[in-house]
Structure 1
């Protein structure tokens, strides 16, 4: 099974939030709230799988709710968190 170590799988944040790729900001926000309520860890008595799902939903929303991050994600297919820690003056 050589080669599997170099493979990086990327999450499809649109599928995580159960929205279409051309979803509006309102639809993204609506589905985020619906899923966050459904998968909130307080409702599931400390189930680690539920906590992981909840964190995944939050991660997807952080990216898709920010226009710059969403555009970058749409273009590259992945999201690099370090890219947004510093703003570069004169970009675009």
Structure 2
């Protein structure tokens, strides 16, 4: 079973490099084995956090992970599943396309509702 590095680092699937770095630092400090003496589960969690950061902080490894990720629908809630694909498709990972210029679903829905109401 593959690990969901985004869940391990507690970030969204389309998280920026800065969001990933900040979350990693927070979690690494929180789960550092020196703060939890003689607890092997903490050591394992700390190792998972480091592994997730090594992959998600490297653009090439992150793209490979995103493209070969585990997408079993029963492992994710619908919002998580859609966010995972949004991160792959709408942000065009690895292509250098800035996702801020793309419409969000909410913006599109708002414009559609305004059009129906005759505001546009």
TM (norm. structure 1) is 0.74
Structure 2 regions of 5+ residues with no counterpart? Answer: 71-120
Q: Residue 53 in 1 paired to residue 64 in 2?
A: no
Of Structure 1 and Structure 2, the greater helix share is in 2
Partner of 1:38: 30
Deviation at 1:62, TM superposition (A): 0.2
Could you say which structure has the larger radius of gyration?
Answer: 2
Aligned CA RMSD, in angstroms, stands at 0.8
Structure 1 regions of 5+ residues with no counterpart? Answer: 1-8, 79-92
1:70 corresponds to which of 57, 62, 66: 62
TM (norm. structure 2) is 0.57
Equivalent pairs counted in the alignment come to 70
